Amino acid sequence: MATATAPKEELNPFEIAKQQFDRAADYLELDQSLRNVLRNAKRQLIVSIPVRMDGGETKVFEGYRVQHNIARGPAKGGIRYHPNVTLDEVKALASWMTWKCATVGIPYGGGKGGVICDPKSMSKNELERLTRRYAFEIAPIIGPDRDIPAPDVYTDSQTMAWIMDTISMVHGHTELGVVTGKPLSLGGSQGRHEATARGALYALRSACAVKGIKLKDARVAVQGFGNAGSIIARLVAEDGARVVAACDSKCGVYAENGLDIQAVLKHKEATGTLQGIKGVKEIEPDEVLEVECDVLCPSALENSITGANVGKVKTKIIAELANGPTTPVADRVLEDQGIMLIPDILANAGGVTVSYYEWVQDQYSFFWSEKRINQTLEDTMTDAFQKVHQTASRYGTDMRTGAYILAIDRVAEATRVRGIFP
């Protein structure tokens, strides 16, 4: 007798983004014409990037820049360098940026960029040539009033400095506001390096208050130990939490009584990996998602928590520092289990929020203190969490759908008021 097999789960990021949109749009009873506008990307640019390698050979890389929506302001979003970048992934990330900016109420639309490459195998000179040529190719559609890139996976403040300089050379004058996430010496902002994780911390504090959990002494697991993951581990530890598990792409580490985060950070900085830390149990990276804890922070890439492994997740709160780490199938299981999920478009919005502060500072050449940045960020994130939680409660749905309802309603209203040209 043949046994039935479960339907294959959708893992295409852009299809997932559309599913998340449609679920919230149904609650809003959004008409089909407006759905057609808001579901689709406004502009998609595909570019070829010839790069002279150190050995003399010229390689051609493919790059993308997608602008999903600009109804509420210029597009905003990071640039990632990764061998698995796809156009659909960039489209999904651009749409998530639209909803993210609307969730926290900053006047941007969503954009995203990516280049298919393996930055770990390239020299600094090769990366600079790649970055400058990519910046030149997308120059017609970016700018302080059009589309403002920022760092993302395997890009950083140096990458942004190269882009800013390239665009400035094209325009014939310095364009500080063309990118955010720059070095402080080139118009960068205090607090930007920690912004994504710090914003997540403020949202997490609010979530703990709702769930009746004290972050002090809470057990926390962090999947992914890049910029966001390593910093959230340090910040929650400073709040008194016990980080019991963490991982990078190669190795996971576990300690029942909590990791010595300062020692872990020093080891990671010195060796580039979490392997070889004394006094901890080494586990597989994916096992971090299955550790029993109070707070789980997926901080790596998309599709980390799926229908295949969600049943093994043992936590009370999930704070998504990565973009798209949880699939719709997994969402429904988490909702049924009563696990509070702080969705990516809220949990990791601290990065784009402080990028907005940087852009404002660049526009006026008037720079804020780190204390002012962090206080303003806390006010923004706490207010956004409360509005998302209120929306979710009013519609009787989960936090992700609540955030989408809030965001889509804001973008839809801007679209209605502006109208369709011509």
Active site residues per annotation: 112
Q: Strand (E) positions, 259-391?
A: 281-283, 295-298, 317-319, 340-342
CA 294 to CA 33: how far, in whole Å? 43
3-state secondary structure of 147: strand
CA 234 to CA 29: how far, in whole Å? 42
Question: What is the DSSP secondary structure assignment for residue 7, as one 8-state letter?
Answer: P
Q: In sequence order, what DSSP letters do the residues of 22-64 get, joined into one string?
A: HHHHHHHT--HHHHHHHHS-SEEEEEEEEEE-TTS-EEEEEEE
Residue pair 76/101 in contact by the 8 Å Cβ criterion: yes
103: its two tokens: 């969730």
Q: How many CB atoms lie within 10 A of CB 313?
A: 22
Omega before 325 cis (within 30°)? no
227: its two tokens: 């910029």
324: its two tokens: 């798209």
111: its two tokens: 């954009």
CA 44 to CA 31: how far, in whole Å? 25
Give residue for tokens 């600094």. 124
320 HSE (CA, 13 A, CB side): 25
66: its two tokens: 């997608």
Please list, in sequence order, all residues whose beta carbon lies within 8 angstroms of the beta carbon of residue 1, skipping any fewer than 6 positions away: none
412: its two tokens: 């839809």
